[in-house]
Protein backbone atom coordinates (compact mmCIF):
# COMPACT_ATOMS: atom_id res chain seq x y z
CA UNK A 1 0.00 0.00 0.00
CA UNK A 2 1.41 3.41 -0.99
CA UNK A 3 1.60 5.89 1.85
CA UNK A 4 0.20 9.41 1.33
CA UNK A 5 2.90 12.01 0.79
CA UNK A 6 3.37 14.48 3.64
CA UNK A 7 5.87 16.95 4.96
CA UNK A 8 6.38 18.78 8.21
CA UNK A 9 5.30 22.23 9.35
CA UNK A 10 7.65 24.81 10.75
CA UNK A 11 8.61 24.07 14.37
CA UNK A 12 5.76 25.16 16.61
CA UNK A 13 8.27 27.05 18.76
CA UNK A 14 8.72 29.48 15.84
CA UNK A 15 5.18 30.74 16.40
CA UNK A 16 5.77 31.74 20.02
CA UNK A 17 9.48 32.55 20.37
CA UNK A 18 10.30 36.25 20.65
CA UNK A 19 13.88 35.58 19.52
CA UNK A 20 12.53 34.13 16.25
CA UNK A 21 10.24 37.15 15.88
CA UNK A 22 13.21 39.51 16.22
CA UNK A 23 15.18 37.51 13.66
CA UNK A 24 12.26 37.68 11.23
CA UNK A 25 12.25 41.45 11.49
CA UNK A 26 15.94 41.61 10.64
CA UNK A 27 16.08 38.97 7.91
CA UNK A 28 12.64 39.16 6.33
CA UNK A 29 10.84 42.45 6.95
CA UNK A 30 13.88 44.69 6.53
CA UNK A 31 14.88 43.06 3.24
CA UNK A 32 11.67 42.62 1.22
CA UNK A 33 9.09 44.62 -0.72
CA UNK A 34 5.86 45.12 1.21
CA UNK A 35 2.54 46.75 0.37
CA UNK A 36 2.12 49.86 2.55
CA UNK A 37 -0.83 51.72 1.04
CA UNK A 38 -2.24 53.26 -2.10
CA UNK A 39 -1.36 56.31 -4.17
CA UNK A 40 -4.60 58.03 -3.18
CA UNK A 41 -3.15 58.53 0.31
CA UNK A 42 -0.55 60.92 -1.14
CA UNK A 43 -2.13 62.01 -4.40
CA UNK A 44 -0.36 65.31 -5.05
CA UNK A 45 2.59 67.45 -3.92
CA UNK A 46 2.40 68.32 -0.25
CA UNK A 47 0.73 65.08 0.90
CA UNK A 48 2.06 62.17 2.95
CA UNK A 49 1.08 59.05 4.85
CA UNK A 50 2.64 56.91 7.58
CA UNK A 51 2.92 53.13 7.34
CA UNK A 52 5.22 50.36 8.45
CA UNK A 53 7.16 47.40 7.11
CA UNK A 54 7.21 44.93 9.96
CA UNK A 55 8.41 47.05 12.87
CA UNK A 56 10.06 49.64 10.61
CA UNK A 57 8.07 52.93 10.70
CA UNK A 58 7.70 54.31 7.18
CA UNK A 59 6.87 57.79 5.86
CA UNK A 60 5.69 58.10 2.24
CA UNK A 61 5.72 61.64 0.81
CA UNK A 62 4.71 63.35 -2.41
CA UNK A 63 7.24 66.12 -2.76
CA UNK A 64 7.06 69.39 -4.68
CA UNK A 65 8.92 67.87 -7.61
CA UNK A 66 6.09 65.35 -8.07
CA UNK A 67 8.10 62.34 -6.92
CA UNK A 68 6.81 59.78 -4.48
CA UNK A 69 9.44 59.04 -1.83
CA UNK A 70 9.71 56.82 1.23
CA UNK A 71 11.74 57.43 4.37
CA UNK A 72 12.31 55.99 7.79
CA UNK A 73 9.63 57.74 9.85
CA UNK A 74 12.18 58.64 12.53
CA UNK A 75 13.77 61.99 13.37
CA UNK A 76 17.57 62.06 12.97
CA UNK A 77 17.92 64.03 16.22
CA UNK A 78 16.71 61.78 19.03
CA UNK A 79 14.75 59.05 17.28
CA UNK A 80 11.18 60.24 17.70
CA UNK A 81 8.58 58.96 15.28
CA UNK A 82 7.71 61.93 13.10
CA UNK A 83 4.11 61.56 11.93
CA UNK A 84 1.01 59.40 12.21
CA UNK A 85 -1.84 58.89 9.77
CA UNK A 86 -1.95 60.86 6.54
CA UNK A 87 -2.49 64.41 5.47
CA UNK A 88 -1.10 67.53 3.85
CA UNK A 89 1.93 69.52 5.02
CA UNK A 90 4.48 71.86 3.51
CA UNK A 91 7.12 70.20 5.67
CA UNK A 92 7.53 67.43 8.24
CA UNK A 93 8.23 68.74 11.75
CA UNK A 94 9.26 66.50 14.61
CA UNK A 95 6.85 66.95 17.57
CA UNK A 96 9.73 66.52 20.05
CA UNK A 97 12.23 69.32 19.26
CA UNK A 98 10.82 70.78 16.02
CA UNK A 99 13.52 69.55 13.68
CA UNK A 100 11.93 70.18 10.30
CA UNK A 101 12.34 68.30 7.02
CA UNK A 102 11.24 69.03 3.49
CA UNK A 103 9.08 66.37 1.82
CA UNK A 104 12.12 65.39 -0.22
CA UNK A 105 13.77 64.31 3.06
CA UNK A 106 16.29 67.14 3.37
CA UNK A 107 16.75 68.80 6.76
CA UNK A 108 15.32 72.31 6.62
CA UNK A 109 15.79 73.48 10.20
CA UNK A 110 17.29 72.25 13.47
CA UNK A 111 16.56 74.84 16.18
CA UNK A 112 19.70 76.18 17.95
CA UNK A 113 22.00 74.07 15.77
CA UNK A 114 23.40 77.27 14.23
CA UNK A 115 24.66 78.49 17.61
CA UNK A 116 26.21 75.18 18.68
CA UNK A 117 30.01 75.42 18.27
CA UNK A 118 31.20 73.00 15.62
CA UNK A 119 27.81 71.31 15.15
CA UNK A 120 27.10 70.33 11.54
CA UNK A 121 23.71 69.32 10.17
CA UNK A 122 25.29 67.87 7.02
CA UNK A 123 24.03 64.37 6.26
CA UNK A 124 21.13 64.57 8.73
CA UNK A 125 18.28 64.32 6.24
CA UNK A 126 15.73 61.55 6.57
CA UNK A 127 16.90 58.03 5.81
CA UNK A 128 15.60 57.04 2.37
CA UNK A 129 13.89 53.71 1.70
CA UNK A 130 13.11 52.10 -1.63
CA UNK A 131 9.60 52.85 -2.94
CA UNK A 132 7.82 51.83 -6.16
CA UNK A 133 4.26 51.58 -7.42
CA UNK A 134 2.21 49.15 -9.46
CA UNK A 135 -0.97 50.87 -10.51
CA UNK A 136 -2.34 52.51 -7.35
CA UNK A 137 -0.43 50.12 -5.07
CA UNK A 138 2.58 51.49 -3.15
CA UNK A 139 5.36 49.12 -2.14
CA UNK A 140 8.29 49.94 0.16
CA UNK A 141 11.46 48.01 0.89
CA UNK A 142 13.52 49.11 3.94
CA UNK A 143 16.63 48.13 1.98
CA UNK A 144 17.45 51.27 -0.07
CA UNK A 145 19.54 49.13 -2.43
CA UNK A 146 16.73 46.65 -3.14
CA UNK A 147 16.29 45.18 -6.61
CA UNK A 148 13.30 46.65 -8.51
CA UNK A 149 9.89 45.55 -7.26
CA UNK A 150 9.24 44.05 -10.71
CA UNK A 151 11.65 41.25 -9.82
CA UNK A 152 9.38 40.33 -6.92
CA UNK A 153 6.07 40.82 -8.75
CA UNK A 154 7.28 38.86 -11.80
CA UNK A 155 4.20 37.80 -13.81
CA UNK A 156 1.69 38.81 -11.14
CA UNK A 157 0.52 41.96 -13.02
CA UNK A 158 -0.19 39.83 -16.09
CA UNK A 159 -2.19 37.31 -14.05
CA UNK A 160 -4.28 40.08 -12.52
CA UNK A 161 -4.94 41.60 -15.95
CA UNK A 162 -5.87 38.17 -17.32
CA UNK A 163 -8.42 37.81 -14.51
CA UNK A 164 -10.24 40.83 -15.91
CA UNK A 165 -8.93 43.59 -13.62
CA UNK A 166 -7.27 46.74 -14.98
CA UNK A 167 -5.40 48.05 -11.94
CA UNK A 168 -5.12 51.53 -13.46
CA UNK A 169 -8.92 51.76 -13.61
CA UNK A 170 -9.44 50.87 -9.94
CA UNK A 171 -10.76 53.39 -7.43
CA UNK A 172 -10.10 53.01 -3.71
CA UNK A 173 -13.26 52.33 -1.71
CA UNK A 174 -12.41 51.47 1.91
CA UNK A 175 -9.85 49.97 4.26
CA UNK A 176 -10.70 47.19 6.72
CA UNK A 177 -8.39 46.61 9.69
CA UNK A 178 -8.23 43.61 11.99
CA UNK A 179 -6.05 42.11 14.69
CA UNK A 180 -5.29 38.55 15.71
CA UNK A 181 -4.10 36.81 18.83
CA UNK A 182 -1.91 34.73 16.55
CA UNK A 183 1.53 34.72 14.98
CA UNK A 184 1.69 36.38 11.57
CA UNK A 185 2.87 33.15 9.93
CA UNK A 186 -0.24 31.30 11.07
CA UNK A 187 -2.39 33.99 9.44
CA UNK A 188 -0.44 33.67 6.19
CA UNK A 189 -0.55 29.87 6.24
CA UNK A 190 -4.30 29.90 6.80
CA UNK A 191 -4.65 32.14 3.72
CA UNK A 192 -2.52 29.76 1.67
CA UNK A 193 -4.88 26.81 1.67
CA UNK A 194 -8.56 26.17 1.07
CA UNK A 195 -8.39 22.67 2.53
CA UNK A 196 -10.29 24.14 5.49
CA UNK A 197 -12.88 25.99 3.41
CA UNK A 198 -15.44 23.19 3.12
CA UNK A 199 -15.46 22.87 6.91
CA UNK A 200 -15.09 26.47 8.06
CA UNK A 201 -16.47 28.79 5.33
CA UNK A 202 -20.05 27.86 4.37
CA UNK A 203 -20.63 31.23 2.71
CA UNK A 204 -17.51 30.95 0.59
CA UNK A 205 -18.33 27.45 -0.66
CA UNK A 206 -21.76 28.69 -1.76
CA UNK A 207 -19.88 30.86 -4.26
CA UNK A 208 -16.70 28.97 -5.20
CA UNK A 209 -16.04 25.34 -6.08
CA UNK A 210 -13.31 24.44 -3.58
CA UNK A 211 -13.11 20.75 -4.42
CA UNK A 212 -9.64 19.32 -4.90
CA UNK A 213 -10.29 18.82 -8.62
CA UNK A 214 -11.53 22.36 -9.29
CA UNK A 215 -9.52 24.55 -6.91
CA UNK A 216 -6.11 25.11 -8.50
CA UNK A 217 -2.80 25.97 -6.82
CA UNK A 218 0.27 27.46 -8.51
CA UNK A 219 3.70 28.55 -7.31
CA UNK A 220 6.01 31.23 -8.65
CA UNK A 221 9.35 32.43 -7.33
CA UNK A 222 8.06 35.03 -4.87
CA UNK A 223 4.33 34.50 -4.92
CA UNK A 224 1.68 31.82 -5.11
CA UNK A 225 -1.79 31.66 -6.65
CA UNK A 226 -5.10 29.98 -5.84
CA UNK A 227 -7.95 29.86 -8.37
CA UNK A 228 -11.51 28.82 -7.62
CA UNK A 229 -14.22 28.61 -10.30
CA UNK A 230 -17.71 29.91 -9.70
CA UNK A 231 -20.26 27.31 -8.64
CA UNK A 232 -23.02 26.76 -11.17
CA UNK A 233 -25.68 27.42 -8.50
CA UNK A 234 -23.86 30.38 -6.90
CA UNK A 235 -26.46 33.00 -7.88
CA UNK A 236 -28.44 32.33 -4.70
CA UNK A 237 -25.56 33.28 -2.39
CA UNK A 238 -25.15 36.32 -0.11
CA UNK A 239 -24.10 38.48 -3.05
CA UNK A 240 -24.48 38.01 -6.78
CA UNK A 241 -21.11 36.67 -8.00
CA UNK A 242 -22.06 36.82 -11.67
CA UNK A 243 -20.32 39.50 -13.66
CA UNK A 244 -17.19 40.43 -15.55
CA UNK A 245 -14.94 38.43 -13.19
CA UNK A 246 -15.75 34.74 -13.76
CA UNK A 247 -13.73 33.14 -10.94
CA UNK A 248 -11.90 33.78 -7.71
CA UNK A 249 -8.17 34.43 -7.89
CA UNK A 250 -6.09 34.82 -4.73
CA UNK A 251 -2.39 35.68 -4.65
CA UNK A 252 0.13 35.74 -1.83
CA UNK A 253 3.26 37.86 -2.32
CA UNK A 254 6.07 37.01 0.10
CA UNK A 255 6.48 37.90 2.84
CA UNK A 256 3.01 39.08 3.81
CA UNK A 257 0.82 40.62 1.10
CA UNK A 258 -2.52 39.09 0.10
CA UNK A 259 -4.21 40.11 -3.13
CA UNK A 260 -7.78 38.96 -3.75
CA UNK A 261 -10.02 39.07 -6.81
CA UNK A 262 -13.49 37.69 -6.22
CA UNK A 263 -16.05 36.74 -8.86
CA UNK A 264 -18.63 39.28 -9.91
CA UNK A 265 -18.10 42.97 -10.62
CA UNK A 266 -14.48 44.19 -11.10
CA UNK A 267 -12.89 44.21 -7.65
CA UNK A 268 -9.57 43.76 -5.90
CA UNK A 269 -8.41 43.86 -2.31
CA UNK A 270 -4.81 43.97 -1.16
CA UNK A 271 -3.09 44.27 2.19
CA UNK A 272 -0.33 42.99 4.48
CA UNK A 273 -0.32 40.70 7.50
CA UNK A 274 2.03 42.39 9.98
CA UNK A 275 3.67 40.86 13.06
CA UNK A 276 3.21 42.51 16.46
CA UNK A 277 5.66 40.39 18.41
CA UNK A 278 5.59 36.61 18.40
CA UNK A 279 1.96 35.96 19.29
CA UNK A 280 -0.04 38.85 17.83
CA UNK A 281 -0.50 40.30 14.38
CA UNK A 282 -2.52 42.93 12.53
CA UNK A 283 -3.83 43.17 9.02
CA UNK A 284 -5.44 45.70 6.77
CA UNK A 285 -7.14 45.22 3.41
CA UNK A 286 -7.62 48.03 0.92
CA UNK A 287 -10.69 47.42 -1.26
CA UNK A 288 -10.85 48.74 -4.81
CA UNK A 289 -13.63 48.67 -7.41
CA UNK A 290 -13.97 50.19 -10.84
CA UNK A 291 -16.18 53.28 -11.04
CA UNK A 292 -19.78 52.38 -11.73
CA UNK A 293 -20.03 49.26 -9.57
CA UNK A 294 -23.31 49.53 -7.68
CA UNK A 295 -23.11 50.40 -3.98
CA UNK A 296 -25.65 47.70 -3.18
CA UNK A 297 -23.42 45.08 -4.77
CA UNK A 298 -20.36 46.42 -2.95
CA UNK A 299 -22.18 46.40 0.40
CA UNK A 300 -23.35 42.79 -0.05
CA UNK A 301 -19.92 41.69 -1.25
CA UNK A 302 -18.14 43.31 1.70
CA UNK A 303 -20.52 41.68 4.18
CA UNK A 304 -19.76 38.28 2.60
CA UNK A 305 -16.02 38.95 2.72
CA UNK A 306 -16.20 40.17 6.33
CA UNK A 307 -17.89 36.93 7.36
CA UNK A 308 -15.11 34.85 5.80
CA UNK A 309 -12.55 37.03 7.60
CA UNK A 310 -14.28 36.58 10.96
CA UNK A 311 -14.26 32.82 10.49
CA UNK A 312 -10.54 32.90 9.68
CA UNK A 313 -9.81 34.97 12.80
CA UNK A 314 -11.36 32.29 15.00
CA UNK A 315 -9.41 29.57 13.19
CA UNK A 316 -5.94 31.08 13.49
CA UNK A 317 -6.46 32.03 17.14
CA UNK A 318 -7.40 28.40 17.90
CA UNK A 319 -4.22 27.24 16.17
CA UNK A 320 -2.14 29.75 18.15
CA UNK A 321 -3.52 28.37 21.42
CA UNK A 322 -2.71 24.86 20.28
CA UNK A 323 0.88 25.45 19.15
CA UNK A 324 1.56 27.59 22.23
CA UNK A 325 0.79 24.65 24.52
CA UNK A 326 4.31 23.38 23.84
CA UNK A 327 3.34 19.71 23.85
CA UNK A 328 4.09 19.07 20.17
CA UNK A 329 7.21 19.95 18.20
CA UNK A 330 5.30 20.46 14.96
CA UNK A 331 2.60 19.22 12.63
CA UNK A 332 2.25 17.76 9.15
CA UNK A 333 1.21 19.13 5.77
CA UNK A 334 -0.59 17.39 2.94
CA UNK A 335 1.85 17.53 0.05
CA UNK A 336 -0.75 18.67 -2.51
CA UNK A 337 -3.61 20.41 -0.69
CA UNK A 338 -1.19 22.38 1.52
CA UNK A 339 1.74 22.76 -0.83
CA UNK A 340 1.50 26.56 -0.88
CA UNK A 341 2.13 26.52 2.87
CA UNK A 342 5.27 24.46 2.21
CA UNK A 343 6.24 27.05 -0.43
CA UNK A 344 5.89 29.85 2.14
CA UNK A 345 7.65 27.86 4.87
CA UNK A 346 10.65 27.34 2.59
CA UNK A 347 11.00 31.10 2.20
CA UNK A 348 10.85 31.60 5.96
CA UNK A 349 13.35 28.80 6.64
CA UNK A 350 15.80 30.08 4.03
CA UNK A 351 15.60 33.60 5.42
CA UNK A 352 16.16 32.56 9.01
CA UNK A 353 18.94 30.15 8.11
Give the pLDDT mean for 145-157.
97
Q: Residue 6 above 70 pLDDT?
A: no
Percentage of the chain beyond pLDDT 70 is 97
Domains belonging to the chain, first-starting first, are 6-13+163-352 (3.90.380.10), 37-147 (2.102.10.10)
Residue 5 pLDDT class (50, 70, 90 cuts): low
Give the pLDDT mean for 178-192.
98
- Provide the pLDDT for residue 235: 63
What's the per-residue H, E or C state across the chain? CCCCCEEECCCHHHHCCHHHHHHHHHHHHCCCCEEEEEHHHCCCCCEEEEEEECCEEEEEEECCCCCEEEEECECCCCCCECCCCEEECCCEECCCCCCEECCCCCEEECCCHHHCCCCCCCCCCCCEEEEEEECCEEEEECCCCCCCCHHHHCCHHHHHHHCCCCHHHCEEEEEEEEEECCCHHHHHHHHCCCCCHHHHCHHHHCCECCCCCCCEEEECCCEEEEEEEECCCHHHCCCCCCCCECEEEEEEECCCEEEEECCECCEEEEEEEEECCCCCEEEEEEEEECCCCCHHHHHHHHHHHHHHHHHHHHHHHHHHHHHHCCCCCCCEEECCCCHHHHHHHHHHHHHHC
Residue 2 pLDDT class (50, 70, 90 cuts): very low
- Provide the pLDDT for residue 3: 42
Entry pTM:
0.96
pLDDT tens for 78-134 read: 999 999 999 999 999 999 999 999 999 999 999 999 999 999 999 999 999 999 999
> Whole-number mean pLDDT of the chain?
96
Amino acid sequence: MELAARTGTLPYAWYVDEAVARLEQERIFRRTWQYVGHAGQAPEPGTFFAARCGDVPVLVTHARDGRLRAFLNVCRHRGSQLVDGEGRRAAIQCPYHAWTYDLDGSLRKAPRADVEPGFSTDGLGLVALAVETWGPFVFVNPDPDAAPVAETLQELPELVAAAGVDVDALAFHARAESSYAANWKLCCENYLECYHCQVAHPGLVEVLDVSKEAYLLDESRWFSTQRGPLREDAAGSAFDPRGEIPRGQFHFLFPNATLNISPGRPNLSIGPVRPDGATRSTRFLDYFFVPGVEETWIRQFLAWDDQVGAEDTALVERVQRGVAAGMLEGGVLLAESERLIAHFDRFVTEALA
